[in-house]
């Protein structure tokens, strides 16, 4: 994430008097957005903020606000409209194929949810993700121990592509088969840390990210996270995947395109600073100080603020409910709730699924980067669904025009 803005830095017009900077209300009015949207821009790194001399109120550089405003429609901000029958994200839930994904997350396995999102025919098989003799199971052993998880996932997808001679078959059943192979390859690209207690994607993934086995409720919490993150409309990574599908890239290349965008620090990695915040709050025994330090270093509250959702992110509540069920007596859950309540009381933005995912990886004794891996494996389902839809459209339709503004 980008650091908090400070006076006198960068190439922007220097403003010596803090009084010349805009208040939150003034900045929101100038952009024509709500306060919640303004802070969502901050959380995504589109804007910076500085604290007023009293150390409490936020101030915004008017030059940066004006620069963002000039990029808004109709003066050239990138925008496109893609019609879809897959998902409708809303404050009250995520509706996928007309069904509430938040409700399904409590009832369905990740594999079942994926097949419904892909509109798979009954009986289409999933590979055995837990098979130790599979083509991809030794990737985690061969790579250096410190290899980033996202790099491992990309290698897994590449190997799945290289071993699929039918990868260029874009028929729906072949694309779905490729999607299942890619998910299993991604899971098995991660190093094994304990022996899985079941054969599902969630069971196997748990033992690739956690150091010890867990109860069924805790593995169910991971399954719920995977389902909740499987699809959320035309997010940036999904747009990248659809552009790849538009030029008729094979399914593995579509996933690789999505991974490239998801790997940005403003997208799939948003849960990592939440995990670090919770760990620091527990270590120091002072949630308020840990939250304040995170806000000073990052310029926003980790896990709060969403660009499109305004009132609430129903996925956050659903996953937090699973955490409370899986770790009911763990004192660390008290730290999670203390930080959550404190941030909710003092933050304009809504709590997002990124907060709940960071809390999950913290409670599960995973690394902070594990949330990004969970996000990537889950969202592969959405990318494949959008690829299937895009393959039915006219090819090469994402041909954008550039307006040259150089000398």
What is the set of active-site residues?
267, 306, 354
The angle that helices 236-246 and 370-391 make with each other, rounded to 10 degrees, is 40
Report the Cα 214 to chain-centroid distance in Å.
24
- Residue 365 to residue 360: CA distance in whole angstroms: 9
* Sign of the dihedral through C-alpha 354, 203, 336, 102: positive
Residues listed for the chain: 407
Torsion of CA 91, 100, 231, 194, to 10 degrees: 110
Q: Which two tokens stand for residue 367?
A: 């690394």
- Nearest residue to 241 via CA among 71, 391, 20: 391
Longest dimension (CA), the chain: 68
Token pair listed for 213: 């086995």
- Locate the DSSP E strands across 58-207: 58-60, 87-90, 93-96, 99-100
What are the beta bridge partners of residue 88?
A: 95
User: How many CB atoms sit inside 10 A of residue 53's CB?
Assistant: 9
Q: What distance in Å separates the CA atoms of residue 187 and residue 156, rounded to the nearest whole number?
A: 8
Q: Is 371 left (phi over 0), alpha (psi -120 to 50) or beta?
A: alpha
What is the per-residue burial (b if ≥16 Cβ within 10 Å, else e) of 2-22?
eebbeeeeeeeeeeeeeeebb
């Amino acid at each position: 994430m980008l650091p908090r803005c400070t006076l006198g830095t960068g190439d922007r017009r220097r403003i010596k008097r803090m009084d010349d900077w805009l208040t939150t209300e003034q900045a929101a009015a100038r952009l024509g957005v709500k306060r919640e949207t303004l802070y969502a821009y901050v959380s995504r790194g589109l804007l910076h903020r500085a604290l007023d001399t009293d150390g409490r109120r936020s101030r915004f550089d008017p030059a940066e606000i004006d620069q963002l405003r000039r990029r808004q429609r109709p003066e050239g901000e990138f925008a496109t409209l893609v019609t879809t029958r897959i998902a409708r994200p809303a404050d009250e839930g995520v509706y996928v194929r007309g069904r509430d994904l938040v409700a399904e997350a409590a009832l369905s396995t990740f594999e079942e949810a994926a097949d419904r999102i892909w509109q798979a025919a009954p009986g289409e098989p999933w590979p055995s993700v837990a098979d130790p003799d599979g083509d991809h199971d030794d990737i985690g052993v061969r790579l250096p121990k410190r290899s980033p998880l996202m790099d491992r996932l990309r290698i897994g997808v590449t190997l799945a592509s290289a071993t699929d001679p039918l990868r260029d078959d874009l028929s729906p059943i072949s694309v779905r088969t490729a999607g299942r192979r890619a998910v299993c390859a991604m899971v098995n690209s991660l190093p094994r840390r304990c022996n899985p207690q079941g054969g599902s994607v969630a069971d196997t993934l748990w033992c690739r990210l956690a150091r010890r086995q867990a109860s069924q409720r805790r593995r169910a919490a991971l399954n719920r996270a995977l389902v909740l993150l499987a699809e959320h409309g035309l997010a940036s990574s999904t747009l990248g995947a659809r552009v790849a599908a538009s030029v008729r890239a094979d399914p593995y290349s579509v996933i690789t395109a999505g991974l490239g965008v998801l790997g940005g620090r403003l997208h799939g990695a948003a849960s990592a600073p939440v995990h670090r915040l919770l760990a620091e709050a527990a270590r120091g025994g002072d949630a308020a100080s840990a939250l304040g330090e995170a806000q000073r270093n990052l310029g926003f509250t980790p896990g709060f603020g969403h660009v499109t959702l305004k009132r609430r992110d129903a996925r956050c509540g659903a996953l937090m409910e699973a955490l409370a069920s899986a770790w009911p007596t763990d004192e660390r859950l008290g730290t999670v709730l203390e930080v959550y309540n404190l941030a909710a009381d003092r933050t304009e933005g809504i709590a997002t699924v990124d907060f709940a995912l960071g809390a999950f990886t913290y409670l599960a004794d995973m690394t902070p980067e594990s949330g990004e891996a969970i996000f990537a494996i889950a969202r592969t389902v959405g990318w494949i669904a959008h690829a299937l839809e895009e393959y039915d459209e006219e090819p090469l339709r994402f041909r954008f025009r550039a307006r040259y503004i150089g000398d």
